[in-house]
Structure 1
């Protein structure tokens, strides 16, 4: 689970990744994501996020999403119309899994309840990993907040609570992770837009282009190369729902059940 999107950095620390910094623009041409996903479509995809039972009620707004995406020009602005929609669907699916409030018999199904939570549920892990350049602030779980904050122009290392308090910062931190390669991993953006070519080592490990590699990037050590499992299947469920609503195909290789995690 992310912290909502704090958990993106939580996963980075768990997997020992050292992301490469990219400019806040993220490359690409600066298009407006509203041309790919309208306000009405956003509401349809995340239809229960503002229900009274959701901790995140009122937090995840369409305007904040659009505003944050403008800082990453290539997001939802790479490739043809289908590819652009598929990237938005994949991003919302992965983040929806991490913030879901759904359950098997939930109204409209379990995949209509993305973005229900803001804080990590259960027993949060101490994600502080000692680092000379980015030392953890005492009492804060903030590994990777230093590089993430520097990339988006916010001092998250000393003020990690800003991610759960400011909706634009929350979206920006998630998009920063999405757009940033973590050697030997590609970026999620490059995978979903077809800009990633697997190496021979990737191919021998079963890592081939498709949505499943994104799950591998995010949480491969826990969810991949283990056959079907509820966590990975949930990510695929969200993705299929969003693609169906957006009227696009899923692409190939949706799961990572037979993929070895990245080293």
Structure 2
């Protein structure tokens, strides 16, 4: 009887361990899928798979969730409100970069994110020949591709190295593989590139401005994320339409997530990096 009882207790303990969440889940908070279920994802991107969108059927929910699982800090840092706000901010920024909407578009201009997977009419091949660490490959274009519209050889090179593809020789991978496309966007979002901090650091409240940041009025908030992504062209300009478009997406998505946007939405008073 005693021996049988021991086996019974061991079996019970084993079953309890099986039912318990994995250690990584407990440490990292709720999964991305639990914070943005597929129904919410589809409600955010109402028109991404319309026939009018060149990226029709490319940006799938499954690819987004699988890519996010490779970046355990994304959407899993801080309070639930902070996690949702970060996801909303990320999706807002990539929506601006890939939007197919217009002022009078069905369901409004902010329902048309993830419509494009490649930059339309690029002005150059986006090769910086001065970058010897990430030299351009002959005949290749480093135009904007994927959700964040990754561009320039100095981004394709390190992104490819980090994610396991040859970004310099095969930049087209970003617009041919949905999973890789989302990974490049999340890599850009979570990776600090001095003197810039990462978008993730800003959105989870871990940004610690340097003296140079303070002098440039680079305060934490969605506006600073815009500065990190495209500040050289958009920040320090009062009422810039591109900045306002990013904000419009963020405001809609934050509402769908049931969270506030936080302060400092624009970067009109910030100096670019």
- The alignment's TM-score, normalised by the length of structure 1, stands at 0.86
Q: Matched residue of 1:201: which SS? A: helix
Which residues in structure 2 correspond to 1:1-263 (within 5 Å)?
29=28, 32-130=31-129, 131-142=131-142, 143=153, 144-262=155-273
Q: CA deviation at 1:30?
A: 8.6
Is the 8 Å Cα contact of residues 93 and 242 (structure 1) preserved in structure 2?
Answer: yes
Q: What TM-score comes out, normalization by structure 2 length? A: 0.83
Deviation at 1:175, TM superposition (A): 0.6
Structure 1 pair 31/82, CA: closer, same or farther in 2 (3 Å)?
closer
Instruction: Report Cα offsets for 1:116-145 as digits up to 9, x if no partner.
Output: 111101334321112323221111123022
Describe the superposition over 1:158-197 as per-residue Cα deviations: whole angstroms up to 9, x where unpaired.
Answer: 1111100000000001111001111111100000000101
Which of structures 1 and 2 has the larger relative contact order (alpha carbons within 8 angstroms, sep 6+)? 1
Please report how far the alpha carbon of residue 157 of structure 1 lies from its aligned counterpart in structure 2 after TM superposition.
1.8
* Greater Rg by CA: 2
| TM-aligned CA deviation for residue 86 of structure 1 | 0.6
Deviates more, 1:183-192 or 1:118-127: 118-127
Structure 2: how far apart are the matches of 1:202 and 1:132?
Answer: 28
Provide the rounded CA distance (Å) in 2 between the counterparts of 1:165 and 1:211.
Answer: 30
State the 1:150 CA deviation.
0.9
Paired with 2:33 and 2:92, the residues of 1 have a C-alpha distance of 18
Kept after mapping to 1: 8 A contact 2:29/2:77? no
Q: Deviations over 1:190-235 (max 9, x none)?
A: 0000010112321221111100000000111111111011111000
Contact 1:30 1:73 in 2 (8 A): no
| Cα-Cα RMSD | 1.4
Q: Residues 94, 105 of structure 1: CA spacing in aligned structure 2 closer, same or farther, 3 A cutoff?
A: same
* In 2: Cα distance, 1:79 partner to 1:194 partner: 8
Q: Secondary structure at the match of 2:272?
A: coil
Secondary structure of the residue aligned to 1:209 is coil
* Higher helix content, 1 or 2: 2
What is the number of residues matched between the two proteins? 235
Shift of 1:152: 0.8
Tell me the residue number matched to 2:14: none
Deviations 1:225-257 (A, max 9, x none): 110111110000000000011110010000001
Give, in whole Å, the separation in 2 of the partners of 1:241 and 1:29: 26
CA shift digits 1:60-90 (9 cap, x unpaired): 0000000011111100010000110011101
**Alpha-carbon separation, structure 2, partners of 1:70 and 1:124:** 34
